[in-house]
Amino acid sequence: MLEFVEYAAKAQHKATVIWLHGLGDSGNGFLPIAPELDLPDSLGIRFVFPHAPIQPVTVNGGMEMRAWYDIKSMDLENRADETGVRESAAAVTQLIEQEIAAGIPADKIILAGFSQGGVISLHLAPRLSHTLAGVMALSTYMCAPQKLSAEATQAALNIFMAHGSHDPVVPMQAGRTAYDALVNQGYEVSWQDYPMEHQVCIEELKAIRAWLISRLS
């Protein structure tokens, strides 16, 4: 089971957001955002921030760091190591199953991710046996979009996507390619972009807050 840090629900635990960090970060990176969102206590939202395993990353000279998968090339067509993506998706599935076993229904669980974490979220949610409340994919792209239609098990999915228009790490066009694949699959996808780089901004957090309230109320 993946290790994680959490931000506990302020009232009875009714819903969960599982939020996956980006390359080289840890669950602690996004932990401070949970209180900043100032979500209504009555929604009973618990945040879970897993830590990716530590592994060598090829494009960083084999340096070991927290990563959801290896990056062997900066070419977006081959950036995400598909085997690693599937392994991490399986590990995150265990966290989702744990929440369901604890009494939180799948339609009260949000899977969120930034950059590498967003790749895992967009890969996993359409292939899950459970229909989640939604997916939040921030400054990210999709692994093997051409396989989505053949592998998807979810007929309907609500997805919030946001990207920086000046992102030098994951170009916004990569996010738009993922968006197009998801829309073509028939999913309900909203798109937001902001004049920022590979980061999260205040305006984006306001949009995330509104979306989380709408999906978990």
Q: What is the pLDDT of residues 23-61, one digit of tens each?
A: 999 999 999 999 999 999 999 999 999 999 999 999 999
| Two tokens, residue 77 | 């067509």
**Structural domain containing residue 134:** 4-216
pLDDT tens figures, 180-211: 999 999 999 999 999 999 999 999 999 999 99
Q: Enter the pTM of the model.
A: 0.97
pLDDT tens figures, 126-138: 999 999 999 999 9
Question: Domains in the chain: how many in total?
Answer: 1
Closest CA to 68 of 13, 128, 122: 122
Active site residue 198: yes
Q: Whole-angstrom distance between the N-terminal and C-terminal Cα of the chain?
A: 29
- Choose the catalytic residue: 51, 130, 166, 198: 198
| Two tokens, residue 143 | 């692994």
- Choose the catalytic residue: 88, 115, 121, 139: 115
Closest CA to 114 of 179, 180, 165, 68: 68
Which CATH number covers residue 61?
Answer: 3.40.50.1820
DSSP of 70-100: -B--SSTTT-B-HHHHHHHHHHHHHHHHHHH
Q: Return the sign of the alpha-carbon dihedral for residues 65, 208, 12, 90.
A: negative
pLDDT exceeds 90 at position 75: no
Contact call for residues 154 and 115 (beta carbons, < 8 A): no
Contact call for residues 174 and 141 (beta carbons, < 8 A): yes
Integer Cα distance of 18 and 92 in angstroms: 9
Provide long-range contacts, Cβ within 8 A and 24+ apart, for 202-205.
Answer: 204/138, 204/162, 205/33, 205/36, 205/37
Cα 41–chain centre separation: 23
